[in-house]
Amino acid sequence: MTDQELVQKAIEMQRFSYVPYSHFPVGAALLCEDGRVFTGCNVENAAYGSTICAERTALLKAVSEGCRSGWTAIAIAGKGSDYCWPCGSCRQMLYEFAPNLRVLAARGDGKFVEMELSKLLPNGFGPQALN
């Protein structure tokens, strides 16, 4: 799967977003080394803080399906004019399983840029910190 194809999957997931409050749909697609792709969208809630981001939806689908290693890239697509970078909570949760994950951040026109998660979350707190 190319980066472009992964971004396209993230864009397509926006159609499932439940965003009655922000009206800001986000889609995500998480690629594993065995070729599996776990997709997600943001799901908002009347209790705003209970909202879950697209990236964490995809992450939870992967982990709950038994895939917790070998993650190679995640694409995130928003509709804005800025690239849709993962929020702090999503960076933290992704770091747990794949600190060197490639993050592809896409904007509304479909253009995307790439940055490694370890650069987005320098000196992150991971499982090794508890040793």
User: Which residues are marked as active site?
Assistant: 55
Binding flag, residue 120, ligand THU (CB under 6 A):
no
Least distance to ligand THU, CB of residue 39, Å: 12
| Residue in 1, 3, 12, 24 binding ligand THU, rule: CB under 6 A | 24
* Stretch of 29-37, 61-69, 85-93, 121-129 lying at the interface with ligand THU (CB under 6 A): 85-93
Binding flag, residue 44, ligand THU (CB under 6 A):
yes
The Cα 43–Cα 51 span in angstroms is 6
Eight-class DSSP state of 130: G
Binding flag, residue 54, ligand THU (CB under 6 A):
yes
Question: Edge to edge, what strands does the sheet with 71-77 contain?
Answer: 37-41, 27-32, 71-77, 102-106, 112-116
| Closer residue to ligand THU (CB): 26 or 30 | 26
Binding flag, residue 93, ligand THU (CB under 6 A):
no
| Closer residue to ligand THU (CB): 2 or 23 | 23
Token pair in block for residue 48: 């705003």
Q: Which of 22, 30, 24 is nearest to 6 (CA)?
A: 30
| Residue in 29, 30, 37, 53 binding ligand THU, rule: CB under 6 A | 53
63 burial level (CB within 10 Å; 0-12, 13-18, 19+) = middle
Alpha helices in 30-116 (DSSP H): 54-64, 88-97
Residues that bind ligand THU (CB under 6 A): 19, 22, 24, 26, 42, 44, 51, 53-55, 76, 84, 86-87, 90
